[in-house]
Structure 1
Amino acid sequence: MKPVRLPAAATVALPRWAIFALCLLYILPGLIGRDPWKGDDASAFGMMWTMAHGSLSDWLWPHVAGMPTPEKGPLAYWIGALFIRLFGGVFGDPMAARLAGGIFFMIGAVSVWYATYLLGRRPEAQPMKLAFGGQPDPRDFGRTLADGALLIYIASLGLLLHSHETSVETLQISLIAFLFYQSVRLFDTPGYRAGLMLGATAGLLALTKGWVLPLAVLLTLAGVAAYRRQGKVFKALFPALLLAALPVLAWRFGLNQVHPFDSSPFPAWMEWNYRLVSGPTSESVSYTFKYLLWFAWPAWPFAIWAVYAWRRQEKPLHILLPVAYLLCFLLLACLNKHSEETILLPILPVFAILAAFGLTTVKRSTINAVDWFSVMIMTGVAGLIWLGWIAQQTGWPKGLAQQLNLLLPDYNGASQPLAMMTAMLATVAWFALVYWRISRRPAVLWRAVVLSGGGVILCWLLLMTLWLPWLNQRISYASLTTELSAKLPVKYKCVDAYIGASQRASFAYFGDIRFAGFSDQRCDYLLLQHSRKRNLVPDMPEPYEARQWESVWIGHRAGDKDELFTLYRRRR
C-alpha cells in the first residue's frame, strides 16, 4: 500500500513567475557590487581573469598570474573567462565572471525542478486513489513536488555562500543536478540517445572537478539498472562512459599540441584526482556526518522520512535513484581525507529531490515544528543583522559598536538609501509571508518549506544590502593593494611572490602588479606572506639569502591583524 493520500487541493503549484522571481531574489544579491573576496572566490576569479587577458597557453594551463594551479579542472575557468571577454567592458571583470555563476545556479535550480517533476509523474509515485475521487492529476502532483524540491534546494544552508562565489563548485553542483535529471530521463526512456546525453554531462563534470565523481556516478547508475533489471539502461551506460572521457582527452590533446609554458598540468591533475579517494579516515567520516547536519538543513529530516515512509514499496525509482546518488556521494566524502565543505556540495541537489517526497507523508506536527524553527531562527538572525547595522551607523548599542570597530577599524562606509529601502521592503515581505503561513494554514505540500526558503533569502538579502560595503572592506584586498602598489616604482621587471592564490589574484587585478611567471626570472622585488602569531619577520625561502634583500613595506588588511605581507627590494 502506498503511503500517500492527498486531495487535489494539496497540489496547487506555484506560478512560474513566482518560481523565477524566487530564484532571482536568491542569486542576484551577492553578484552585484562586490569585490572578489578572500578565498576560492578571488583565486578562481584570478584564473578566469588571467585567461581572459592572456594567450592560448594561459587557457590550457590554468594559473593565477603565473602561479600554477593544476587542481580541479579548466572548464569553469574557461566559461568565466569567456564571460569576462564578452561582458567585462560593460559590467567590470569581477561581475562578468559572477554572471557565469548566476547562470550556473539557474541551470542547477531548473534541473532540480524538472528531475523532481519527472519522478513525481511516475505511476509508482502517485498517491492512493480516494474512494470518491478527487485525487490529484499526475502532472499537478509532479509540479507541486518540484516546487517543494526547489524551495528546499534554495533553503539549504550549505548552498548559500558557495552558489554566490566565483568558483569551480558553482558549476560542479549545477552539473550534478543536470546529471541527475539526465539519469531520470535515461530510466524513463532508456536508449543510446539518453545515454549519450548522460555521458556528455559526465564528461563536462570531469573537466570541471575531476573524473572521480562522474565515474562513481556512472558505476552507481549501473548498479541501480542491474538491481531494477533494466537491461536497456545498463547497455546505454557503455557509450556514456566512453563519451564521458572525450572532454578530458580533448584537453590533453590540446596540451600535447601546444605545450604551454613547456610543461603540462595533466600529471598533477591526475595525482590530485587520486588524492580524492585516499581515505577513509576517522576524521573524514566524523567531519562528513557532523557538518552534514547543518549543511543539508532543512532537507535531511524530510529525506530520512521519505525513505522510511516508502520502505515497503518495490523498487520505486523516485526513492531508489536519489538514495543511490546519496550513498555514492557520502562514500566519496568519507574517502576524501582532506575534510572541507565543498566535498558535501554534491549531496545538496539530490537531498532536496528526495526530501520533496518526504513532504507528502510527513506529519502536520513535524511541519509546524520546522515552520516555527524557521520563523524563530531566521527572524532572530535578521534582527541581529539589523541591530548590528544600527550600531555601525549610530554607535548604539555602544558595546556592539565597539566590537564592530575592533573587527574593522576606521570603517568609512556611508549608509546607502537604496540599499536600506530594499532591506526594509524585504523585512516587511518576510513578516507578510509569516502572517500568510500562520493565518491561512494552506494545505499545499510546499507549505512546510516556504518559510525556510524565504528566511534564507531574507537574511542573505539583508547582508548584501546593509553590510556589503563593510564586508568588501573586511574581506577584499582592494585597499591593501593600493598601499602595496604605491611602494613599487613605475618601471620594474617583476615581483616574485610567496603568497596564496587569492592574494596573488587580488594584487594582480586591483594593482596590476606584474608577478613572476612560469619561467625563472630574476625579479627586483620579493613579496612574502606570513603570520604575526608565528613571527613578525618572515623566514626567507630557500633559494634566497636575507642579506641580498631589504624590507621596504609591511602591511595587512584592516580586518586581519594576523596576516602580514612584507615587500623586499633587491640590494644593489
Structure 2
Amino acid sequence: MNGLPRSLNLPPSGWTLAGLLAFYVLAGLFGHDPWKSEDVIHLAVARDFLDPGHGLGLSLAGQPFLAAPLFYWSAALTGRLFDWLLPLHDALRLASGLWTALSLAALYYAGRELYGQHSAAATPLLLAGSFGLLVHAHEAQPMLVLLTATSLTLLAYSLLPRKPLMTTLLLTPALVLAGLGQGMGGLLLLLCSLLIPLAIYPDKRQVVLALGASLVSAGVLLTGIWLLLASAAPLWLSIWLQQEWRQLSQAADYWRDLKTFLDMLCWFSWPLLPLAGWSLWQKRRSWRAPELLLPLISFGLWLFSLPALMAAKETTAILLLPALALLATPGALSLRRGAANAFDWFSGMAFSVFALLLWIGWCAMVFGWPERLAKRAVILEPGFVGHFDLSYFSLALLASLWWIWLLLTLPRSPYRCLTRWSAGLATIWLLTVSLWLPWIDYGKSYRQLAADLAWQLPQQQGCIAAQNLGDAQRASFAYFERLRFTPLPRSGQTHCRWLLVQGSSRQELAPTGTGWQRVWEGSRPGDRKERFRLYRRSN
C-alpha cells in the first residue's frame, strides 16, 4: 500500500509542480461573497452577460460599462459552464484562475528556454510567491488577461532565435489578448515591446519577419472582432473607443505616476526585486547575454511605459512581475549557502507564526478564547457572531498539516527556500480565507444590506433613481438582488418613484429636490462612513 511520499522531489517537475501551482491558483479563489472592491464590479458586469438577450457590449446594473470586454466574456463563459457545480460568483471568478494559470505556464516555458530545464520551475514559483499578485490573482480582475499577454510575449521572444514560427504563433494571440483585455493602453504596451528583440538578437531579418507576421495576423484578428462588435453593439463600441482615446490623450503627471510605481515595487514585488538584483550582480560580466537582456529590458521598458499608458495602481503594477520573475530566476537558484539558509529559515518561521496567529484568532471568534482577542473582533465588526463550520475547518486543518509536512521533509536543494516560500504564502492565504471567511464576509459583503433594501421595495417598484451611488455599491445591489438604478440628473428632477442616496453625513444623505419621504436607512455592520437612505416620492 502506497502512502504519502517521504518528501517532494526538488526541483519540482511534472505533476508535483502542477500540483503546487494549482494549489496556489485555487487557494482562496472560491467560497467567499463578492467583496466591496473591483471584485464585485467585475463580477456584476460578467453576470449581466447571462441575462437573456444580452449583447456583446458591457453593462453594469443596466447602464453601459466602458471597459475592454475579453475578461467579462471569459468570466461569463466559465459562469455558464460551471454554475451547476459552484455558486455563480465562484464560477465567474474561475476565469481569473484560468488566466493566472496560463501566465504561470507561459513563464515556466520561458524560464526553460532561457535558463534550462533545471531552472524552469523557479520562474512560475517566483511569480506565485510575489506579494503583489496574491490578492489580485484570486479576485475577478481583468488585468490578469494582460498579465497573460505579457507572459506570452516573454515566451515568444525567448523562442525567437530557435523557433521564429512559434514566436509568431504566440505573439499573435498575445497582441489580441492585450487589445481585447485592456484596450488601447494594453495594446500599446505590447507594441512598445516589439523593440526588445530588435535590440538583443543579431539576426534582424529573422526578427523583422517574425514580428511583421505577428502584427499582420493580430491586426486581421482584431479588425474582425471589432467589426463583429461594431455590428452587434455599435453604440457601446463607439463610446468605449472614444473613452479609450480620451484617456490616452489626457495629460497625466508622468513623474508622479512613475514614482508611485517605484514606491509600490519596494513591497509589491517582494522577494523578486532583491533576487533580480542578485542575478544582475552574478551575471555582471555577461550582461549582454539574451537570457539576461530580455527580462531586464522588458522590465525597464514596461516600467517606464506604464505611467504614460495606464493608471498608477496595484492592479497595473502586476504587469511588471513576469519580467521581474524571469530576471530573478538565476539569482534565486544561485544564492550563497548562508543567504539561502536564512531565506529558508525566515520562510519557515514567518509563515508558521502567521499560521499560528490565524488559528488563535479563529479560536477567539468561534470559542471566545482568548477572551480579549474575541472582544476585539466584535469591536472591529459589531454584531459578528462566530460559528464552527466543519468544511472550512477541515480544509484549514489539511492545509496546516500539509505545511508542517513541507517544513519537516523538504530535502536540501537550491529550490528548497523558493518552494517553501511560495507554498507558505499560498497556505497563509488559504488559512485566511477559510478560518476567517465568516468574519471577512461579514464586513465586506453587501448580501444582507442588499436583501434589506430589496425588502423595502414592492415587487413592481419601477425605476429607482440613484444619488452619489458608487460603482461598487451599485454592482453589489445589482449582483445580489438584481436591482437597477437610474442616474439622478443634476437638476434632481426624475420621473422615478424611488430614490436611493449614499453618503456619510446628514447633508450628503439629504435628497436633491423636494417631495421625497424617507422610508429606510441602512449600512453594513460596523461601517460608520457609508450609509444609505431610500426615499419614496410623496406626491
Quick check: TM above 0.5? yes
Q: For 1:463-487, what per-residue CA distance to the aligned partner results, in whole angstroms no more than 9, with x for missing partners?
A: 1221112222211100101110111
Aligned partners of 2:272 and 2:196: how far apart in 1? 25
Shift of 1:508: 1.4
Aligned counterpart in structure 1 of residue 497 of structure 2, from 506, 519, 524: 524
Point out the more displaced range, 341-350 or 174-183: 174-183
Shift of 1:37: 1.0
Call closer, same or farther: CA 1:420–1:259 in 2, change over 3 Å.
closer
Shift of 1:495: 1.4
Point out the more displaced range, 457-466 or 82-91: 82-91
Alignment of 1:122-141 (within 5 A): none
Contact 1:326 1:347 (8 Å CA) reproduced: yes
Alignment of 1:467-546 (within 5 A): 467-498=436-467, 499-516=469-486, 522-532=495-505, 535=506, 537-538=508-509, 540=511, 544-545=512-513
The corresponding residue for 2:329 is 356
Q: For 1:163-186, what per-residue CA distance to the aligned partner results, in whole angstroms no more than 9, with x for missing partners?
A: 010120232222321222122223
Point out the more displaced range, 311-320 or 457-466: 311-320
Contact 2:61 2:483 (8 Å CA) reproduced: no
Call closer, same or farther: CA 1:223–1:329 in 2, change over 3 Å.
closer
Aligned partners of 1:226 and 1:296: how far apart in 2? 26
Point out the more displaced range, 222-231 or 159-168: 222-231
Shift of 1:219: 3.0
Aligned partners of 2:374 and 2:127: how far apart in 1? 35
Corresponding letter in the other structure for 2:176: G
Aligned partners of 1:274 and 1:96: how far apart in 2? 37
Aligned counterpart in structure 2 of residue 448 of structure 1, from 396, 417, 425: 417
Matched, 1:322 2:295: yes
Secondary structure of 1:207's counterpart equals helix
The corresponding residue for 1:128 is none
Point out the more displaced range, 463-472 or 484-493: 463-472
The corresponding residue for 2:160 is 186
Aligned counterpart in structure 2 of residue 400 of structure 1, from 373, 396, 415: 373
Matched, 1:429 2:402: yes
Aligned counterpart in structure 2 of residue 411 of structure 1, from 368, 381, 384: 384
Secondary structure of 1:194's counterpart equals helix
Call closer, same or farther: CA 1:355–1:314 in 2, change over 3 Å.
closer
RMSD: 2.5
Secondary structure of 2:525's counterpart equals coil
The corresponding residue for 2:61 is 65
Call closer, same or farther: CA 1:38–1:194 in 2, change over 3 Å.
same
Q: For 1:434-478, what per-residue CA distance to the aligned partner results, in whole angstroms no more than 9, with x for missing partners?
A: 2335xx4x1x33223122112101101111221112222211100
Q: For 1:148-167, what per-residue CA distance to the aligned partner results, in whole angstroms no more than 9, with x for missing partners?
A: 12221211111111001012
Q: For 1:276-330, what per-residue CA distance to the aligned partner results, in whole angstroms no more than 9, with x for missing partners?
A: x833133x23322222121111111111111221121163121111111101221
Matched, 1:79 2:86: no
The corresponding residue for 2:429 is 460
Contact 2:24 2:423 (8 Å CA) reproduced: no
Aligned partners of 2:258 and 2:192: how far apart in 1? 22
Q: For 1:500-534, what per-residue CA distance to the aligned partner results, in whole angstroms no more than 9, with x for missing partners?
A: 222212211211223339999832112122124xx
Contact 1:148 1:445 (8 Å CA) reproduced: no
The corresponding residue for 1:176 is 150
Call closer, same or farther: CA 1:15–1:424 in 2, change over 3 Å.
same
Aligned partners of 2:48 and 2:20: how far apart in 1? 34
Aligned partners of 2:508 and 2:485: how far apart in 1? 22
Corresponding letter in the other structure for 1:515: F
Q: For 1:399-429, what per-residue CA distance to the aligned partner results, in whole angstroms no more than 9, with x for missing partners?
A: 2212210221222341112322332232233
Shift of 1:234: 2.5
Matched, 1:267 2:262: no
Call closer, same or farther: CA 1:557–1:245 in 2, change over 3 Å.
farther
Aligned partners of 1:360 and 1:302: how far apart in 2? 9
The corresponding residue for 1:30 is 28
Contact 1:108 1:178 (8 Å CA) reproduced: yes
Unaligned runs of 5+ in 2: 1-8
Secondary structure of 2:158's counterpart equals helix
Corresponding letter in the other structure for 2:266: L
Aligned partners of 1:422 and 1:470: how far apart in 2? 17
Call closer, same or farther: CA 1:496–1:144 in 2, change over 3 Å.
farther
Aligned partners of 1:422 and 1:200: how far apart in 2? 37
Call closer, same or farther: CA 1:335–1:376 in 2, change over 3 Å.
farther
Call closer, same or farther: CA 1:330–1:451 in 2, change over 3 Å.
same
Q: For 1:211-269, what per-residue CA distance to the aligned partner results, in whole angstroms no more than 9, with x for missing partners?
A: 33443333333243244322111232223234334455345423433455686322113
Aligned counterpart in structure 2 of residue 257 of structure 1, from 205, 214, 231: 231
Aligned partners of 1:239 and 1:390: how far apart in 2? 60
The corresponding residue for 1:4 is none
Shift of 1:100: 1.5
Alignment of 1:78-157 (within 5 A): 78-120=73-115, 142-157=116-131
Contact 1:204 1:247 (8 Å CA) reproduced: no
Secondary structure of 1:414's counterpart equals coil
Unaligned runs of 5+ in 1: 1-10, 121-141
Secondary structure of 1:451's counterpart equals helix
TM-score normalized by the length of structure 2? 0.90
Alignment of 1:190-209 (within 5 A): 190-191=164-165, 194-209=167-182
Q: For 1:73-115, what per-residue CA distance to the aligned partner results, in whole angstroms no more than 9, with x for missing partners?
A: 1010111112222332442321111122221121111111111
Aligned partners of 1:568 and 1:187: how far apart in 2? 67
Figure out how many residues of one structure are paired with residues of the other and give that number. 525
Call closer, same or farther: CA 1:375–1:224 in 2, change over 3 Å.
same
Shift of 1:273: 4.0
The corresponding residue for 1:347 is 320
The corresponding residue for 2:5 is none
Shift of 1:539: 5.1
Secondary structure of 2:324's counterpart equals helix
Contact 1:278 1:337 (8 Å CA) reproduced: no
Secondary structure of 1:264's counterpart equals helix
Corresponding letter in the other structure for 2:150: I
Contact 1:496 1:516 (8 Å CA) reproduced: yes
Corresponding letter in the other structure for 2:459: V
Amino-acid identity (%)? 30
Q: For 1:37-72, what per-residue CA distance to the aligned partner results, in whole angstroms no more than 9, with x for missing partners?
A: 111110000110112215354x22x1211233213x
Contact 1:204 1:244 (8 Å CA) reproduced: no
Aligned counterpart in structure 2 of residue 567 of structure 1, from 518, 534, 538: 534
